[in-house]
Amino acid sequence: MAETQWIDGAARAEALRAAVGAETEDLAARYGWRPGLAVILVGEDPASEVYVRSKIEKSQAAGMVSLARRLPADATQAEVEAQIEALNADPEVHGILLQLPLPAGLDSAAALERLDPRKDVDGLTVASAGRRVSGLSAFSPCTPLGCMMLLKESVGDLTGAHAVVLGRSVLVGRPMADLLLEANCTVTIAHSRSRDLAGLCRTADILVAAVGRPGMVKGDWIKPGAAVIDVGINRVPHPDPAKAAKGRTRLVGDVDPVGADGVAGWLTPVPGGVGPMTVACLLHNTLMAAKRAHGLA
């Protein structure tokens, strides 16, 4: 049995937020301005409310200018896009995040295209994706960026490693593969139509699971010593039947942690692995956007 090193994403995220906060204070002291993040929330989706609150609180804690723009669930496409345009034009706002999903009837792709790519700190516009795959500088979506930071800090140089990414979504799988390629990995992207997923995964020095299937990656899918990043966030009934009967749930990843422990060289827990890095990377991208806007990066 290999010794598995559990990657503490919560601690790493706290350190990144602290570093962003220190640089924010330094910018404020030297130049008299602070990085500004605006979050747009349309409607009252409870999960989105939680995410937006966390983004606002953490950007404020890092000393940033933090704006929340709330629109009702029946807002029109034109109203959402006008809000984005207003924030594009606001010099105090360096990063804009449109919280997804939008309520039914609104076109999120069209709305995102209104966003100034220089303020696209979530890296989701077509311009950002196009620049990324063209090898040009662009903001990376925060979840894959957080995964890369955890990998580089744990494994070090990734050059030549075979990376398998399970999942090909625009939000996670594809940008993750781009970032691994940029780090000189040999990259395989697998998805629901791939053959012999277990065999493919067993060839991976780096395995990133982003499928949204609780515990799909078993211990015997993992090459001994591989670095395994579990992006999945799945809510399942509590294992205690009495608690499950009361509607209690718990969060699990896409990797079976019991099977993976002792096989993987490195492994991220769920919760406490990739999740906390996502908001920390949003702050990191906002700081970068602010520095670029002022010619400092």
Q: Which residue has the tokens 């906390």?
A: 276
Rule CB under 6 A: is residue 118 a binding residue for ligand NDP? no
> Could you say which residues in the range 139-158 bind ligand NDP, by CB under 6 A?
143
CA nearest neighbour of 213 among 226, 197, 195, 196: 197
CA nearest neighbour of 59 among 108, 145, 141, 121: 121
User: Please, what's the b/e burial string for 260-275 (b: 16 or more CB within 10 A of its CB; e: otherwise)?
Assistant: bbebbbbbbbbebbbb
Which one is catalytic: 58, 83, 99, 256? Answer: 99
Per DSSP, the three-state class of 268 is: coil
For the beta sheet containing 36-42, the strands, ordered from the edge strand earlier in sequence to the opposite edge, are 65-71, 36-42, 95-98
Q: Considering the complex, what minimum distance in angstroms separates the CB of residue 121 from ligand NDP?
A: 15
CB of 39 within 8 A of CB of 97?
yes
246 part of the active site: no
Rule CB under 6 A: is residue 36 a binding residue for ligand NDP? no
Residue type, 258: V
The binding track of 199-238 with respect to ligand NDP, each residue x by CB under 6 A or -, is -----------xxxx-----------------xxxx----
What values do phi and psi take at 176, rounded to 5? Answer: -60, -45
Stretch that binds ligand NDP, among 131-139, 156-164, 188-196, 282-290 (CB under 6 A): 188-196
152 part of the active site: no
Rule CB under 6 A: is residue 123 a binding residue for ligand NDP? no
Rule CB under 6 A: is residue 265 a binding residue for ligand NDP? no
Rule CB under 6 A: is residue 192 a binding residue for ligand NDP? yes
Q: Considering the complex, what minimum distance in angstroms separates the CB of residue 170 from ligand NDP?
A: 8
Task: Give catalytic residue positions.
Answer: 55, 99, 122
By CB under 6 A, name the binding residues for ligand NDP: 143, 166-169, 171-173, 191-193, 197, 210-213, 231-234, 274-275, 278
